[in-house]
Amino acid sequence: MKKLTNNNQNWLDDFGLKVLKRNTPFICFLGLLGIFYIANTHSAENKVSKILTLKNEIRELNWKYLNLKSDLVHSSMYSTVESKLADKEISLRGKRPVQIVVKGQ
Protein backbone atom coordinates (compact mmCIF):
# COMPACT_ATOMS: atom_id res chain seq x y z
CA MET A 1 0.00 0.00 0.00
CA LYS A 2 2.78 2.40 0.79
CA LYS A 3 4.27 2.02 -2.68
CA LEU A 4 0.98 2.85 -4.35
CA THR A 5 0.49 6.11 -2.44
CA ASN A 6 4.14 6.99 -2.93
CA ASN A 7 3.81 6.49 -6.72
CA ASN A 8 0.68 8.63 -6.79
CA GLN A 9 2.46 11.34 -4.83
CA ASN A 10 5.43 11.28 -7.23
CA TRP A 11 3.11 11.44 -10.21
CA LEU A 12 1.35 14.51 -8.73
CA ASP A 13 4.68 16.16 -7.97
CA ASP A 14 5.92 15.49 -11.48
CA PHE A 15 2.67 16.79 -12.98
CA GLY A 16 2.84 19.95 -10.83
CA LEU A 17 6.44 20.61 -11.88
CA LYS A 18 5.59 20.12 -15.54
CA VAL A 19 2.63 22.50 -15.30
CA LEU A 20 4.77 25.01 -13.43
CA LYS A 21 7.58 24.82 -15.99
CA ARG A 22 5.16 25.13 -18.87
CA ASN A 23 3.31 28.12 -17.40
CA THR A 24 6.30 30.03 -15.99
CA PRO A 25 6.41 32.53 -18.88
CA PHE A 26 2.68 33.19 -18.50
CA ILE A 27 3.04 33.68 -14.74
CA CYS A 28 5.91 36.13 -15.34
CA PHE A 29 3.78 37.95 -17.92
CA LEU A 30 0.94 38.28 -15.40
CA GLY A 31 3.37 39.62 -12.80
CA LEU A 32 4.67 42.17 -15.29
CA LEU A 33 1.11 43.23 -16.14
CA GLY A 34 0.42 43.66 -12.43
CA ILE A 35 3.46 45.90 -12.04
CA PHE A 36 2.37 48.01 -15.03
CA TYR A 37 -1.14 48.27 -13.58
CA ILE A 38 0.16 49.49 -10.22
CA ALA A 39 2.51 52.00 -11.88
CA ASN A 40 -0.29 53.31 -14.12
CA THR A 41 -2.64 53.74 -11.17
CA HIS A 42 0.03 55.59 -9.21
CA SER A 43 0.74 57.89 -12.16
CA ALA A 44 -2.96 58.61 -12.67
CA GLU A 45 -3.43 59.48 -8.98
CA ASN A 46 -0.47 61.87 -9.12
CA LYS A 47 -1.90 63.58 -12.21
CA VAL A 48 -5.32 63.97 -10.59
CA SER A 49 -3.67 65.48 -7.51
CA LYS A 50 -1.73 67.97 -9.65
CA ILE A 51 -4.90 68.89 -11.57
CA LEU A 52 -6.79 69.60 -8.34
CA THR A 53 -3.90 71.73 -7.05
CA LEU A 54 -3.81 73.72 -10.29
CA LYS A 55 -7.60 74.19 -10.26
CA ASN A 56 -7.42 75.64 -6.76
CA GLU A 57 -4.57 77.91 -7.80
CA ILE A 58 -6.56 79.09 -10.84
CA ARG A 59 -9.57 79.89 -8.64
CA GLU A 60 -7.38 81.88 -6.27
CA LEU A 61 -5.69 83.80 -9.10
CA ASN A 62 -9.07 84.49 -10.73
CA TRP A 63 -10.35 85.87 -7.43
CA LYS A 64 -7.27 88.13 -7.13
CA TYR A 65 -7.74 89.32 -10.72
CA LEU A 66 -11.39 90.21 -10.15
CA ASN A 67 -10.51 91.97 -6.91
CA LEU A 68 -7.79 94.06 -8.59
CA LYS A 69 -10.08 94.86 -11.50
CA SER A 70 -12.80 96.01 -9.13
CA ASP A 71 -10.33 98.19 -7.22
CA LEU A 72 -9.08 99.72 -10.48
CA VAL A 73 -12.59 100.53 -11.65
CA HIS A 74 -13.43 102.02 -8.27
CA SER A 75 -10.23 104.09 -8.07
CA SER A 76 -10.60 105.45 -11.61
CA MET A 77 -14.12 106.77 -11.05
CA TYR A 78 -14.44 110.53 -11.42
CA SER A 79 -15.68 111.06 -7.86
CA THR A 80 -12.85 109.01 -6.35
CA VAL A 81 -10.19 110.85 -8.34
CA GLU A 82 -11.78 114.16 -7.37
CA SER A 83 -11.76 113.31 -3.66
CA LYS A 84 -8.11 112.19 -3.80
CA LEU A 85 -7.09 115.39 -5.58
CA ALA A 86 -9.08 117.53 -3.12
CA ASP A 87 -6.87 116.21 -0.30
CA LYS A 88 -3.84 117.54 -2.19
CA GLU A 89 -5.59 120.83 -2.91
CA ILE A 90 -5.82 120.13 -6.63
CA SER A 91 -9.20 120.44 -8.26
CA LEU A 92 -10.58 119.17 -11.50
CA ARG A 93 -12.26 121.47 -13.91
CA GLY A 94 -15.97 121.35 -14.02
CA LYS A 95 -15.96 122.13 -17.70
CA ARG A 96 -15.24 119.95 -20.65
CA PRO A 97 -11.87 120.34 -22.33
CA VAL A 98 -11.67 123.08 -24.92
CA GLN A 99 -11.36 121.84 -28.47
CA ILE A 100 -9.09 123.89 -30.70
CA VAL A 101 -10.00 123.94 -34.37
CA VAL A 102 -7.45 125.21 -36.86
CA LYS A 103 -8.88 126.67 -40.06
CA GLY A 104 -7.11 127.26 -43.30
CA GLN A 105 -4.99 124.21 -43.68
Structural domains counted in the chain: 1
Closest by CA to 54, choosing from 65, 46, 43, 68, is: 46
- Residue 46 domain-assigned (yes or no): yes
- Residue 98 domain-assigned (yes or no): no
- Residue 92 domain-assigned (yes or no): no
**70: containing domain:** 2-87
- Residue 105 domain-assigned (yes or no): no
pLDDT at 33: 98
- Displacement of CA 66 from its chain's centroid (Å): 22
Give 5-62 pLDDT, tens digit per residue: 556 667 667 777 888 888 999 999 999 999 999 999 999 999 999 999 999 999 999 9
How far is CA 17 from each of CA 11, 21, 24, 57, rounded to the nearest angstrom? 10, 6, 10, 58
- Residue 99 domain-assigned (yes or no): no
Task: Provide the pLDDT confidence category of residue 103 given band limits of 50, 70 and 90.
Answer: confident
- Residue 102 domain-assigned (yes or no): no
- The model carries a pTM of 0.55
pLDDT at 1: 45
